[in-house]
Amino acid sequence: LDSVMCEYNTAIEGGVLFAFNLVYIKVLCSKFTRNKANEFGSIGGSVFGLDSISNVEIKSSSFHGNMAGSNGGVILASEITDFTINASMFANNRAKAHGGFVSGKLILFLEIISSTFANHSSKQYGSIIYLSESGTVLIAWSRFAGNSAKKGSCLYLYGSHQSKQISIISSNFSSNYASKGGGDLYVMQYIAVILFKCFFNKSLTISGEGGSAVFQTVKHVKICNTQHKYSIAMNSHGGCLFAYATKSLLIKNSSFHRCHSGQKGGGLFLGGHEKTECLINIENVTFIQNLAKSEGASFYIKMISNITVVSNKFIHNFAYESGGAFSVFLSPYYMSEIIIMACLFHGNVAKRAASTMSI
């Protein structure tokens, strides 16, 4: 499809195109506006219904105001080997269930480059992308703003035994909202997640964990050269990040500024499984004016075996109970240790106990 304009088309599935068992689909310099997958009892995919396609490429195209009465506001996809999105614009697409832009299963490789996603919505998970049994994901030089969903306002990715890695590079997340957790990202069952040179700003969740992100049963997490500002988990843990059952986590050369949690971990809540050894390394990270309504204004770490905190700055953080800078609860199942070296603690406050560290 080259230089195609499609608008106000309606179908039960695939308002513009339904394709099955093809080798290659390419969409170039095209525009899709206000197409619908029938609002009542529909399958989904207001523009494309794709099944068993080897390669899908969308480049230099725009999708605006498309809607599905079920899953996949724009695309409903299954069994895609390679899915690439490049230099495209997506705005105001919505789904009444999952995936305001794409709802998919068994997409083995997803690549998003230099694209913008704004003001998407879904009533369930992933207002932009919802993937079950998803594979490797690469996102670079892209922008996500003003999106909303129940969980994972931008991305909800549920992995499988084939799910190796999610890499998000030089991308911007701003003013996204999830009512039940993961204001920007919700990721489950992956081997690794990498965030590099990203910016997260004004992310919000009301009743769930992780104002910006939830990583659950992700084995390895690396966050480097990334900034987080004004992320809020209004009534739960992890104002910015909530990570659980992770084997290793590295946060380096990053910052957390004015993040807020209604319970533990104003910036971060990091929880390990009680019988799984876990390593945490926080290095050259700045925590400024973060707030926790319970413990651990900058971060709260629970059931972790080995923690290294090196060359960090904790400035004017506030906890209503304890751990004005941070709180740590080490695992009793291992020979646990915590190393704190070359850190600055200035002006941190806890109302009840431990204005700096609670261990």
Short-list 98, 99, 102, CA closest to 58: 102
Alpha carbon 340 to its chain centroid, in Å, reads: 29
Rounded to whole angstroms, how far apart are CA atoms 145 and 133?
A: 26
User: Which residue type sits at 308?
Assistant: T
User: What tens digit of pLDDT does each residue of 101-159 get?
Assistant: 888 888 889 999 999 999 999 988 999 999 988 889 999 999 999 999 999 999 999 98
More confident residue, 333 or 89: 89
Note the pTM of the prediction, 2 decimals: 0.94
Rounded to whole angstroms, how far apart are CA atoms 170 and 107?
A: 23
More confident residue, 161 or 212: 212
Cα distances (angstroms) measured from residue 306 to each of 100, 157, 248, 337, 354: 40, 28, 10, 5, 21
- Kindly report the number of other CB atoms within 10 A of residue 177's CB atom: 20
pLDDT at 183: 95
43 has a pLDDT exceeding 60: no
Question: What is the DSSP code string of 98-143?
Answer: S-SSEEEEEEEEEEEES-EEES-EESSB-SSEEEEEE-EEEEES-E
- Kindly report the number of other CB atoms within 10 A of residue 89's CB atom: 15
- The mean pLDDT value for 219-229 works out to 96
Residue 286 · residue 258 · CB < 8 Å: no
User: What tens digit of pLDDT does each residue of 278-334 get?
Assistant: 889 999 999 999 999 999 999 998 877 788 999 999 999 999 999 999 998 876 666
pLDDT band at 273 (very low <50, low <70, confident <90, very high): low
In DSSP terms, which residues pair with 18 in a beta bridge? 49
98 has a pLDDT exceeding 90: no
Three-point CA angle 260, 265, 269, nearest 5°: 125
From start to end of 146-236, where are the E strands? 148-149, 155-159, 165-169, 172-174, 177-178, 185-188, 192-196, 199-201, 204-205, 213-216, 220-224, 227-229, 232-233
Cα distances (angstroms) measured from residue 271 to each of 67, 248, 278: 38, 11, 9
pLDDT at 41: 45
Residue 177 · residue 145 · CB < 8 Å: no
Rounded to whole angstroms, how far apart are CA atoms 82 and 255?
A: 34
232 has a pLDDT exceeding 80: yes
Rounded to whole angstroms, how far apart are CA atoms 82 and 62?
A: 20
- Please tell me what DSSP assigns to residue 325: S
Residue 125 · residue 153 · CB < 8 Å: no
Rounded to whole angstroms, how far apart are CA atoms 326 and 110?
A: 37
More confident residue, 46 or 124: 124
340 has a pLDDT exceeding 60: yes
More confident residue, 217 or 285: 285
Residue 153 · residue 180 · CB < 8 Å: no
Rounded to whole angstroms, how far apart are CA atoms 285 and 277?
A: 23
Residue 332 CB partners (closer than 8 Å, separation 6+): none
Rounded to whole angstroms, how far apart are CA atoms 270 and 279?
A: 11
- Please tell me what DSSP assigns to residue 151: B
